Structure 1
Amino acid sequence: MPTFSFRPANGDGPARRPFGASGDALPRTAVVSDTLSDLTDLALPLDIPGAEEARARRDRVLTELEVRLVPRLEEADAPAIVVLGGSSGAGKSTLINSLVGSEISRAGVLRPTTREAVLAVHPDDAASLADNPIRSLARIHPIDTVPRGVAVLDAPDLDSVDARNRRLSARLVETADLWIFVTTPVRYGDELPWSALTVAHERGVTIGVVLNRAGDSARTAVHRDLTRRLQSLGAADAPIFVVPDAGPHSGPLPPEQVAELSSWLRLIASTRAGSTLRRHATRTTWAALREDLLVIADAADRQVSRLEELTALVDAAAAEPVARLRRALAAHSLTDGSPTTRWLALASTGGPLSDVAARPGRIRPGRAARRRERREAALAVLAEVTGPVREAIRSAVREADAEIGRRWAAGGGPASLADQRAHRARGPEAVADRAVGDWRARVESSVEGALSSPEGRAAAEALGADGVAALVGAGGAGLAGPAAAVRGMLRGDAARLLSDATNALVDVAERAVHDISRPYLDALADLGVEPGTGLRLRAGELKEFT
């Protein structure tokens, strides 16, 4: 004979009324839905102090919103959820089987026994759970020995050896309107279930305790200690039900061993206390939810602050190599050595550029062979300059890359982003080659616009347009001889062209360095970190309901 017959005498079950009909002020579903959306979109990807706890809090609140609050607001007829939770081997599955009088949840000595959550519900209440998210967490088992208005859930072990079961059990705690801690004289002091019990109590969930498999010798002492612990928790009114030790057995327990618990649950059903449990759990949730949102908002702000710190760190690491390159250009140190020697060899008496160096404002075009010789010499000078320029950019890029990596690691930057950057960034050589090519193209474009003047046309006739551009580039890079020749040939336009060439070189060098830092910055931007402003707004909207 089933012992869990929660039906009132007339068999009709408790009368229904709209949720919140008692006059409680409840937020509109839209407010809760917006809060759910904000939390779903919230990213807390950076592993900074407190981030793991904030993610766990966010996930717990999401479960509470999805599985308990939103369904409560949208479905007035949903039954109160009674969760049987506790440590491994406490006998939860045997207990639910005994209460409903049928083996609906697997019980045994193999751990974990409960590999899925089972929700026992009256067939007439099953329809109200049709769209309830709890269906994704538990197997719904309609059975008419469960009264209308109450559904009993056998949750996996909180300390299950299976990590998936542990996560599922923790989520199911958030679905509870009534949380029954099932334990034994051996396991009643376990820290993990007491922690879950504390959280449930703080969030307004009604709690009870079942001391299972209690032998005569331990019953009194353990009951006394449980009472003391519940008083310390602020839950002195939580009932404690004792289920005697039945010894080795299989199948449901004898009805008389769960009679006290069965009678209490039957009372809940017959007095419409299930609806009261739902309202109480929901009403007392708002203050805790608001506090949770503010704590998570602070965590989101810390994520933003850390992202800004990492961004500044990357920018600062890239700035020094560029500053050093600027100083080298200003001191003309890039063109010391072989570029100067090359220029002197080509511009000395008898050299192809001797007239360009000696009388740049009065050079004659000469024969085609002479013009070609000058042009090739000018390009050779630029090639000699390009070598140290390219190496200076490569050095700046390598230095920036190494410095960013050092500061990133020292500053606690995520290793995964550094690895991602390594796959996305081009090497220093490729970056520098592209930078030099861009610089020369910009110099040629700048010079092209100056060749329409009389001086520009004369210079182009003597050296060719690219030959003039080569000397402007060499001069802009800091080689004094070509710079003097450009000023003599182009006069009024010379200062601007040389300055443009210098600035273009600095610009492409900065871009090259930032090409190395950009993947770090892009990876940070891709994290989608946002401040907690929206969550604070939601917390403010909930304030009137606390």
Structure 2
Amino acid sequence: MTRDETMPEHAPDATLLDVVEGLHREVQAVAFALDTPGTRAAKPLRHTLLERLEDHLLPRLRELSRPAIVVVAGSTGAGKSTIVNSLLGDEVSKASVLRPTTREPVLVTHPEDAELAAGLDLGEALRVEHDGVPRGIALLDAPDLDSLMSSNRETAVRLLAAADLGLFVTTAARYGDALPWRVLTDAKERGASVAMVLNRVSDEKLAEVRTDLVSRLREHGLASSALFVVPDAGAHEGLLPAESVEPIARWLRRVAGADQARTVILRTLRGALDALVEQTAALVAEVEAQTDDAAALRAAVVDAVPSGLGDLADATVDGTLSTGAVEAAWLAAVDAEPGILRPVAGRFRRPRRAALARRAELLGAVATRVRETLVTQVLAAARTSSETIGSQLGEQDDRLPGGAALHAAVQADGALAAWRDTTVRSEVSAWLRGVADAVGDLAPGVLQAADRGLTREGLVAVATAAAVGVAGAERVLAGVAGAAAGELVDAARADLVALGRHVVEGEAGPYTERLDVTALAPEAVTGLRLRLAELRRQVRSR
């Protein structure tokens, strides 16, 4: 009989394959940019989904005609390799003293299935052909699930994820361990068929252990799983008696053959697809929750930003920015050179050059205090906004998941503090230049009149002092420029409020930059949700 008659090629379902491949791309694209309890739980879910898609579903959908993979798994010393060898009547997988713990997977296929099995992606598995393997299945002796080597454990878990059937080997002394039940539950969740081999059971303990094991299987929703008992053969090397493993061999022959193996494959595939629907729906929910959390965080940051602007705006509008060092510098300048108060267009004698220079020097000190005060006040406003943002995010993490982590990430970066200091000094310098330009734009007659008592630089210093609320400076400026003085001061104060708004709004930048990413956009879940709907339609139609 030819291979084609016993193992016909089955073209994969192109529509289902397209949907699952599209889903795989969408799951790959999922990113969790926030640090929340939800995203911490969702990251392993995404990882599990990718593993199941890549290790089992996609390879199986792309080639349904390959042999059904029966993974023989278990803990160290459970006797997996001995079971495999005894089923085949030949030592194909080293066991016992020669190999106390399985280090590399061993794939055993019937010679006539070898070509079909060649495409199975099983990493570094040692491939063996043996005519003792029923046609239509491939036996895979996996590394120990509790191996001391993490790479072995990871390989074992990965191979189990790729299984069409799982044959879990345990012993009377080890069946109660948490590990086998965790593995079996995971297999059940992804829709795989499993069977259990209870190895090395003495006659005295058989009834007790079997009853307890059947009860545990029922508790874990595995009551329909096959259970095989292998009697304790005592200390020995080599193969077990054929009759000890004959029930397992019969079970394998029953699930083998072209049609039966395909039935097993499709049953496992359906279970895996059902599980995939549930897990994808859970992932969609987590991605949606993350975008909702990001929107709430963004709103909280934006709401907190204006908190620092209020005091600065009020002080600018009502002219109280000048209290303190600026006012003191002005009074000191006036005390030292009273003529500062009389730079008006009248019959005053033009001051001597030395007096003009002294006034300019004294007013330069006033301008320096204005600069320093503005830098201090605007920095304080920015820090107030920053502190309010931190309070909103850090102290309400129960209401704003991810807020504390987001705030900590921004503060740890250090870029915000450097940006704030540089920006404030730059903006204040730009504002001072704007005042100087406004003075330069005054009518020529005004400037000429001012020149009778002040240099151009001195008049600029007077204008900056007037803009921050120094009453004496406002009177001097009005005496020089008349109605234009009020317009200049009002415009300078408006520019100062705009300066403060720009700076405090910049406090939100590092937060919004972290929130305005593709992974947190409302449409981030659209593709995944669409693939889920397509997958549900495919599963319902089968």
Q: Does 1:142 align with 2:128?
A: yes
Match of 2:369 in 1: 384
Match of 2:471 in 1: 480
Deviation at 1:296, TM superposition (A): 0.8
In the alignment, the residues of structure 2 paired with residue 268 and residue 372 of structure 1 have an alpha-carbon distance, to the nearest angstrom, of 106
In the alignment, the residues of structure 1 paired with residue 428 and residue 307 of structure 2 have an alpha-carbon distance, to the nearest angstrom, of 21
User: Greater CA deviation, 341-350 or 283-292?
Assistant: 341-350
Deviation at 1:495, TM superposition (A): 4.3
Task: Count how many residue pairs are aligned between Structure 1 and Structure 2.
Answer: 528
Residue 42 to residue 251, structure 1, CA distance change in 2 (3 Å) = farther
In the alignment, the residues of structure 1 paired with residue 245 and residue 528 of structure 2 have an alpha-carbon distance, to the nearest angstrom, of 45
Q: Does 1:33 align with 2:25?
A: no
Residue of structure 1 aligned with 2:187, choices 188, 193, 200: 200
Q: Does 1:15 align with 2:7?
A: yes
Q: Return 5+ residue gaps in structure 2 as ranges.
A: none
Matching residue's letter, 1:73: L
Deviation at 1:147, TM superposition (A): 4.3
Match of 2:107 in 1: 119
Q: Return 5+ residue gaps in structure 1 as ranges.
A: 1-8
Superposed CA RMSD in Å reads 3.7
Q: Does 1:545 align with 2:530?
A: no
Match of 1:6 in 2: none
The C-alpha deviation readout for 1:193-243, integer Å capped at 9, x for no partner, is: 223323323433222111111211222232233334444555444221122
Residue 148 to residue 443, structure 1, CA distance change in 2 (3 Å) = farther
Determine if contact 1:86/1:183 at 8 Å carries over to the other structure: yes
Residue 539 to residue 322, structure 1, CA distance change in 2 (3 Å) = same
Paired residue secondary structure (1:182): strand
In the alignment, the residues of structure 1 paired with residue 95 and residue 488 of structure 2 have an alpha-carbon distance, to the nearest angstrom, of 85
The C-alpha deviation readout for 1:23-80, integer Å capped at 9, x for no partner, is: xx77442221111111112113544334343222222211111121111222233221
Question: Counterparts in 2 of 1:75-474, with a 5 A limit?
Answer: 75-100=63-88, 101-104=90-93, 113-122=101-110, 125-128=113-116, 132=120, 134-136=121-123, 139-145=125-131, 146-270=133-257, 272-347=259-334, 350-356=337-343, 359=344, 369=354, 371-402=356-387, 404-405=389-390, 407-410=392-395, 411=397, 413=403, 415=405, 418=408, 421-425=411-415, 427=417, 431-432=420-421, 434-445=423-434, 447-448=436-437, 451-454=440-443, 457-458=447-448, 461=451, 463=454, 466-474=457-465
Deviation at 1:407, TM superposition (A): 4.9
Residue of structure 2 aligned with 1:62, choices 29, 34, 50: 50
Determine if contact 1:379/1:467 at 8 Å carries over to the other structure: yes
Matching residue's letter, 1:542: L
Residue 528 to residue 12, structure 1, CA distance change in 2 (3 Å) = closer
Paired residue secondary structure (2:125): strand
Residue 296 to residue 110, structure 1, CA distance change in 2 (3 Å) = same
Determine if contact 1:444/1:466 at 8 Å carries over to the other structure: no
Determine if contact 1:94/1:251 at 8 Å carries over to the other structure: yes
Deviation at 1:499, TM superposition (A): 3.5
Matching residue's letter, 2:412: A
Paired residue secondary structure (2:7): coil
In the alignment, the residues of structure 2 paired with residue 460 and residue 180 of structure 1 have an alpha-carbon distance, to the nearest angstrom, of 100
Determine if contact 2:136/2:257 at 8 Å carries over to the other structure: no
Deviation at 1:420, TM superposition (A): 6.2
Deviation at 1:529, TM superposition (A): 3.4
The C-alpha deviation readout for 1:470-518, integer Å capped at 9, x for no partner, is: 3333333333333444444445554454344334434444444455553
Q: What is the aligned-residue identity percentage?
A: 33
The C-alpha deviation readout for 1:131-161, integer Å capped at 9, x for no partner, is: 65x334x524232344443222233444455
